Structures are given as C-alpha cells and as structure tokens.
Amino acid sequence: MDVIGRWNGRYARLLQSALRLSNEQFAAHLGIAVRTVATWHSDAAVVPRGEMQQLLDTAHERAPAAARQRFALLVAAERAPAASVPAGAQALRVAIAVVVRENSVLLVCRRDDDAAGISWQFPAGVIKPGGRAETTTVRETLDETGVHCAVRQHIGSRLHPVTGVLCEYFLCEYLAGEATNTDTVENIDVMWVPKNAATRFIPVDTIFPPVLAILEEQT
C-alpha cells in the first residue's frame, strides 16, 4: 500500500511505529507539537487538518523503503480482521494486554494438559457478551498476574492465526503490583521480560504486527 487517501490518528500512529520513533521523535520529525502526536494515540478516528495531512504524506514518501514496507504490513493487519470473519459467524472474543513497564513487557506461561503445549503469552481473558474489552483487559491482568494496569490505547484486532479466536489487543501502562502467578490453575509462571527479548518466548510469526512494532520501539 503506497498511498493513504486520508490520514487519521490510527494511520499516523502506524506510520510512527513503522519509523520506530517515540512520540517526541515523531513530533520533531514532522515539526509539530508532541501533544498532537499524543492526540493521535488517544483518538484513532481523529482527522488531522489539511497542512498536517501534507506533512504526513511527505513523511511517508521520504521514509526508508524498509519503514514503508513495515507501514504497509501494519495497515494491512489493521484492515484484515473485518474481511476475515465469515458472514454470520460469532467468534469468541478475547482481550489481550500488552503491559509495558519501561523497556519490559509482561508475559504469562500457560498450563496445558500436554507439557509440550506450555507456551508464553500476553495476559488475556475472554470478553463476556455485553462486556467491555478494556475492563476485561485490566481485570484479567490483575487476576492472572497481580499487576495493576491501565489501558493506554487499542492496538487493533485480528483472528489469531493459530487459535482462530477474535483477539482485541490493548497497550497497557503498568501502575503497581509485583508480577506473581495468581492463577495457578491456568498458568505456570509470570514474568517481566525485555521487550526486545519477547520473541525468544513467543514465536515472532504469531505476534500481531502492530504489537511487534511496539515491542521494537525504544523508550
């Protein structure tokens, strides 16, 4: 995908992720205020003014080829879920928390009937009918890990390539609490790992591309 017809907060954030820039770096790159970038993160649907559209066009056009390719993959991943759900299907919805504390991310090790099935994942929980995904994200993280967190932004949605479950991903900010295994029925362990080491625990080809971009960001 080489052209964005109309930029909004979501596309601007994906471009930032593709360029691997912090909020401050992205603002400086565009020559705008940091609060404007923060607005894009808090409101994915916001549409920047005309001059801002041109700044984003220029930043995209002048981006290195690798960054443009990452951006295209991120946009494709954002758009994929709606086209992937079969007509009339009622998919199981799961809220997934990507909890970040400085340069670390929170992971849990799931328990399986077969030892070979043990795997590391992000904290997650089933969204009950009529329930809010954000509430589920915060509650399940606390129940599983003892960590209090706050949702910072909705990262995106997709049908998981392995489980086929409809996943809602949220970037969460650590607030308080020690990471402990508070759900020994489902989990074996809980731990913080460096963001750049997460792919040692979770196969990179199963990580949602926008989440992978966040893990690659330097803070």
Q: 């971009």: which residue's tokens?
A: 213
CATH topology assigned to domain 93-216: Nucleoside Triphosphate Pyrophosphohydrolase (3.90.79)
Cα–Cα distances (Å) from 175 to 78, 100, 146, 210, in that order, read 28, 10, 11, 23
**Cα 51 to the center of its chain, rounded Å:** 28
Closest CA to 133 of 118, 155, 148: 155
Which of the two residues, 130 and 59, has the higher pLDDT score?
A: 59
Residues 154-180 have a mean pLDDT of: 88
Closest alpha carbon to 123 in 101, 104, 147: 147
DSSP bridge partners of 156: 169
By C-alpha distance, which of 50, 62, 45, 33 is closest to 9? 45
As a whole number of angstroms, the distance between CA 82 and CA 159 comes to 9
The domain limits of the chain are 9-84, 93-216
Residue-wise pLDDT tens digits, 63-121 = 998 888 888 877 776 665 444 444 444 457 899 999 999 999 999 998 764 444 558 99
Burial class (CB in 10 A: 0-12, 13-18, 19+), 103: middle
Residue 153 reports pLDDT greater than 70: yes
Res. 25: pLDDT tops 80: yes
- Whether 185 shows a pLDDT value over 90: the answer reads no
Q: What is the model's pTM?
A: 0.61
- Give the pLDDT confidence of 13-24 residue by residue, as tens digits: 889 888 888 888
DSSP 3-state of 50: helix
